[in-house]
Amino acid sequence: MATFDDMIKEVVVRTGRGNKGSLIRSCVNDAVARLSSYHKFKYDLQYLEYPIPLADQNNLIHLIPYSSLLRYRAADAVQGGSDYEILVKVPSAKATCRGVARKGTYYESGLGIHASLWYTTDIIKVSYYDKPARITELTEEIWHFDHAFHIISGLASAYVYREAGETDEYDRLLAMALRDMEEFRRDVGGM
């Protein structure tokens, strides 16, 4: 498995900028974030069973605050306590009908995920895509380094050139990396 250190060394080789260690680390992290935000890959999926407070378990409407969802990026699925109660995502404007919450739905707001259940429950199950954490440890291994090493090294190298003011090399490497990202998305889809 490739590590953060392997990626840094690759970017140093590609750019010839061995004296820019902190810049390269930052650019690698930016490249990882850009790839993850480009598509919803299965390796970015997280799963949470959100416990409903005892006092609220008789309610059908619940808010799952974003603070409960570590590095939240986008919802994949929300369901009630039963495996059969999969909620349908609706726009917030469609969450009610004649002033009454539409059961079996959820929507997102600035506060979090609002779920309107069919049945009372003690948990709500949420699967969601997360944002990658900032990588700091040289020995750290993440899926991006194994499945998209050339894309991350290309993007990170492009970012290094951008910071150095070398716009032609930045444009060339960025165009190649974006093409590779699209091909990767098509080939592996949700992985």
End-to-end distance of the chain based on CA atoms, in angstroms?
A: 17
**Is residue 148 scored above 80 in pLDDT?**
yes
Position 189 confidence tier, pLDDT thresholds 50, 70, 90? low
Q: State the CB neighbour count (10 A cutoff) for residue 75.
A: 18
Cα–Cα separations (whole angstroms), residue 133 to 5, 136, 146 = 16, 9, 16
Average confidence score pLDDT of the chain: 93
What does the pLDDT read at residue 190? 54
**Is residue 100 scored above 90 in pLDDT?**
no
Please state the domain extents for the chain: 4-41+132-188, 44-130
Position 2 confidence tier, pLDDT thresholds 50, 70, 90? very high
What are the residues whose beta carbons fall under 8 Å from the beta carbon of 180, sequence distance 6 or more? 150, 151, 154
Q: What SS3 string covers the chain?
A: CCCHHHHHHHHHHHHCCCCCHHHHHHHHHHHHHHHHHHCCCHHHEEEEEEECCHHHCCCCEEEEEHHHCCCEEEEEEEECCCCCCECEECCHHHCEECCEECCCEEEECCCEEEEECCCCCCEEEEEEEECCCCCCCCCCCCHHHHHCHHHHHHHHHHHHHHHCCCHHHHHHHHHHHHHHHHHHHHHHCCC
Q: Over the stretch 34-82, which tens digit does the pLDDT of each residue have?
A: 999 999 998 899 999 999 999 999 999 999 999 999 999 999 999 998 8
Position 188 confidence tier, pLDDT thresholds 50, 70, 90? confident
Q: How far apart are CA 25 and CA 108, in angstroms?
A: 33
Cα–Cα separations (whole angstroms), residue 121 to 75, 82, 115, 145 = 20, 8, 12, 40
Helix axes 21-38, 149-163, angle to 10 degrees: 130
Q: How far apart are CA 49 and CA 58, in angstroms?
A: 18
Position 137 confidence tier, pLDDT thresholds 50, 70, 90? very high
What does the pLDDT read at residue 83? 74
